[in-house]
Amino acid sequence: MNLKLRVWRQRNALSEGGLVEYEARNLNPNMSFLEMLDVVNEELIQRGKDPIAFDSDCREGICGSCGCVINGEPHGPESRVATCQTYLRSFKEGDTVVIEAFRAKAFPLIKDLVVDRSAFDRIIQAGGYISVATGSAPPANAMPVPKHRAEMAMDAAQCIGCGACVAVCKNASAMLFVAAKVSHLNLLPQGEPEKDSRALSLVRQMDAEGFGNCTVTGACEVACPKGISLNFIAKMNHDYAVALLKGEPAHAGRAG
């Protein structure tokens, strides 16, 4: 199949960018979207041109590295998949496909389709972990976890940190991401000791990074490749309010 691509090209954050047209020809419909970009890049390199910069790593929907806005939708037209799991069979012969970077103030552009999502790393560093006593592994049954809490924690832990929730949100809010990170630890007994400080620290770091406020439009849940539920935002708001009411723990607010 053949597609017409309009790709956002921008040398760096300070230079001016724009959409550049490319003809992508003789593509196999079973190719992934990123394989199609590989083909286009090989041709560009052969012609001595600068290849299109884009992020990827696992190409299996696991790592959260990839992410483009495809025809106005973060990760493209299919629901519950990352950009790397989008296949050309989702498009029609001769379609024009507009490819842009995830745009948000807190995700400064590096080049073309690559943005700096290290703000997410700093949010995790602020409290997205548990402190454990080192030593031999505890017996598997020493800490019972109710089934429904285990399942909710696993649902939250599916977040791959891709940033589509931010890219789709009119406020560039990171609430869905932060809510997933708070919840997947706060729901488990292992995360209980730092529950309050975690909710406070992650929210404070999110604000410090310049993400916008949540106005519950729900666009994030729709764009999320892992189907992270808006319910986790409600749960984080609850955990945050409880932590505030209890008073700030001594170690709250430590940023990574």
Q: Report the interface residues with ligand FES, using CB under 6 A.
A: 56-59, 61-66, 82-84, 160
Residues in contact with ligand SF4, shown as a per-residue x/- string from 90 to 129 under the rule CB under 6 A: ----------------------------------------
Q: Which residues contact 213 (CB under 8 A, 6 or more apart)?
A: 171, 173
Per CB under 6 A, contacts with ligand SF4 among 148-207 are: 159-165, 176-177, 180
Q: Which residues contact 101 (CB under 8 A, 6 or more apart)?
A: 8, 10, 68, 69, 109, 112, 113, 114, 115
Written as one letter, the residue type at 43 is E
Tell me how far, at minimum, the Cβ of 70 lies from ligand FES, in Å: 13
In the list ligand FES, ligand SF4, none, the entry touching 242 (Cβ below 5 to 8 angstroms by class) is none
In the list ligand FES, ligand SF4, none, the entry touching 176 (Cβ below 5 to 8 angstroms by class) is ligand SF4
Tell me how far, at minimum, the Cβ of 239 lies from ligand FES, in Å: 28
Query: Among 93-101, 133-141, 202-210, 224-232, which window interacts with ligand SF4 (CB under 6 A)?
Result: 224-232
CB atoms within 10 A of CB 58: 13
Q: Helix axis angle, 195-208 relative to 118-125, nearest 10°? A: 150
Dihedral over Cα of 254, 107, 40, 83: its sign: positive
**CB closer to ligand FES out of 59 and 122:** 59
**Could you tell me if 30 and 89 are in contact, meaning their C-beta atoms sit under 8 angstroms apart?**
yes
**CB closer to ligand FES out of 77 and 193:** 77
Q: Helix axis angle, 195-208 relative to 175-186, nearest 10°? A: 160
Binding region for ligand SF4 (CB under 6 A): 159-165, 176-177, 180, 223-226, 228
